[in-house]
């Protein structure tokens, strides 16, 4: 089964190492590769379906490109769209405490069919491979939490991407505050290279070595001071989000 919603990969500076495109091609998944105009010659052989953005080097991270993708998906009459980071090195299936790599595109369709049973799922996505230990008892999905890196978005939401840092978490929080649900699949996982370990993307224009990690955490706290605090752990500053206020955002099945 092929996915029924369009899949987009935004990429910059990684024409020779666009991991997500490589993996999707292995899985025979159709996708759009979204790039800036000055990099077309570098990327022209990376994917069949290339979309060239109408701007370049804005210095605002991926936010303008993400919002452009959202509008493009609406223009082709899609009800939802997938947006994937370009540094995903594999897709996996968690079952019976094993996490084998997936070679079938059906995982996208399974996730789509599941959330389409409900009328109030705003955002869904696949969890990180490293966040689901094979030794733990893990549910097939977590309800009402942050979704990032491999995201399926409902197109008629009133929100759009904003800010510069932690935009995935911010969008998740905003839809949850509106009463929507989010679904983070543990049954399907992504193996993702840490952003700052790869050149290109936000590594070169947002998450630079000279940036203060506290600034990243504080930006989300300023957006949502009611549920976000800044904490020190793993030898650096992080944001900590309290998702308990959304425990009563229940899934509503379609009639």
Global pTM reads 0.92
Residue 199, domain member (yes or no)? no
Residue in the block written with tokens 């799922």: 121
Q: Indicate if the pLDDT at residue 149 is higher than 70.
A: yes
Are the CB atoms for 88 and 150 separated by under 8 Å? yes
Residue in the block written with tokens 């966040």: 131
Distance between CA 58 and CA 38 in Å, rounded? 13
The candidate with the shortest Cα–Cα distance to 221, out of 173, 159, 151, is: 173
Q: How many domains does the chain have?
A: 1
- Please give the residue range of the domain that contains residue 133: 7-194+205-246
Query: CA distances (Å), 123 to each of 13, 19, 21, 99, in order?
Result: 28, 23, 22, 24
Distance between CA 200 and CA 187 in Å, rounded? 30
When mean pLDDT is compared across 84-98, 154-168, 225-239, the lowest value belongs to 225-239
* pLDDT tens track for 88-102: 999 999 999 899 999
Residue 149, domain member (yes or no)? yes
Residue 200, domain member (yes or no)? no
* Residue 195 structure tokens: 């952003």
Residue 44, domain member (yes or no)? yes
Residue 253, domain member (yes or no)? no
CATH number at residue 82: 3.90.550.40
Residue 162, domain member (yes or no)? yes
Residue in the block written with tokens 């020779």: 16
* pLDDT tens track for 164-195: 889 999 999 999 999 999 999 999 999 998 75
Residue 177, domain member (yes or no)? yes
Residue 168, domain member (yes or no)? yes
Q: Indicate if the pLDDT at residue 210 is higher than 60.
A: no
């Amino acid at each position: 089964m092929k996915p029924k919603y369009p899949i987009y990969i935004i990429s910059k500076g990684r024409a020779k190492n666009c991991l997500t495109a490589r993996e999707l091609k292995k899985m025979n998944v159709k996708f759009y590769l979204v790039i800036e105009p000055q990099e077309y010659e570098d990327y022209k052989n990376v994917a069949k379906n290339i979309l060239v953005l109408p701007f370049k080097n804005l210095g605002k991270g991926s936010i303008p490109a993400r919002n452009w993708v959202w509008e493009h998906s609406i223009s082709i009459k899609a009800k939802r769209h997938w947006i994937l980071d370009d540094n995903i090195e594999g897709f996996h299936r968690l079952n019976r405490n094993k996490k084998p790599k997936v070679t079938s595109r059906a995982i996208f369709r399974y996730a789509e069919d599941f959330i389409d049973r409900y009328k109030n799922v705003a955002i869904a996505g696949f969890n990180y491979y490293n966040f689901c230990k094979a030794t733990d008892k893990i549910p097939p999905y977590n309800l009402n939490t942050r979704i990032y890196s491999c995201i399926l978005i409902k197109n008629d939401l009133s929100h759009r991407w904003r800010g510069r840092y932690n935009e995935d978490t911010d969008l998740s929080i905003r839809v949850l505050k509106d009463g929507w649900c989010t679904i983070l699949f543990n049954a399907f996982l992504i193996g993702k290279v840490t952003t700052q370990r790869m050149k290109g993307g936000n590594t070169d224009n947002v998450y630079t070595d000279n940036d203060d990690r506290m600034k990243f955490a504080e930006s989300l706290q300023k957006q949502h001071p009611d549920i976000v605090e800044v904490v020190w752990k793993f030898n650096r500053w992080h944001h900590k989000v309290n998702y308990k206020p959304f425990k009563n955002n229940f899934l509503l099945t379609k009639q």
